Structure 1
Amino acid sequence: MAKLGNNQPKSSGNLGSNLDVFAARCTAIRDFIMQKFEEVRSWWMEIWPKLKEAFMNIWNAISAFITPIINAIVTLFKWAWPLIESIIVSVWRT
């Protein structure tokens, strides 16, 4: 048998062994990734209700602050728009 650089005999049986080692390593990597993915999924499912509640509290606070401001701006424009419109029309005609 001819020898390779790593002093192992060259044989066709070695190819199957290498494929088995490669398949075992791929399986180990896949299992590791799946385990970590499951840990992240489990963590996310655990914290999601609290996170959702926190987001809703933040949104409600922002909404409570912004809504009166928007209503005031709308009221101001309802009052001021006829004045703005008359100024624009008079300037446009001159």
Structure 2
Amino acid sequence: MSVKASEEGKDLRSLLEQASGAHRNSLTLESSDIWLRTIKADKPCMMMNNISIYIGHGDAARTDDLAKGAGGDYRFLDWTCNMTATKFITEFSL
């Protein structure tokens, strides 16, 4: 199963939960390990040109903490989709 980062405006946590339902043994949201896979974008609206990683103590109101339940700092990913960009992300690793 592929997780599409911009699918219908869903946030990353929702997409990870969706993937978790299909692959219970390969994706654990409440642990210290998170895996992300790049996929080929089928449509321009799925392309990302910037990914920001935030690790810190702020914004406890967000619900997409990648390390929820692991303790320590909050960990978030944000991305932008700029259709005027000339370069897009082709590889990503944590």
The TM-score range, normalised by the shorter chain, is under 0.3
Highest Rg: 1 or 2? 1
> TM-score, normalising length from structure 1?
0.16
- The structure that is strand-richer by fraction is 2
> TM-score, normalising length from structure 2?
0.16
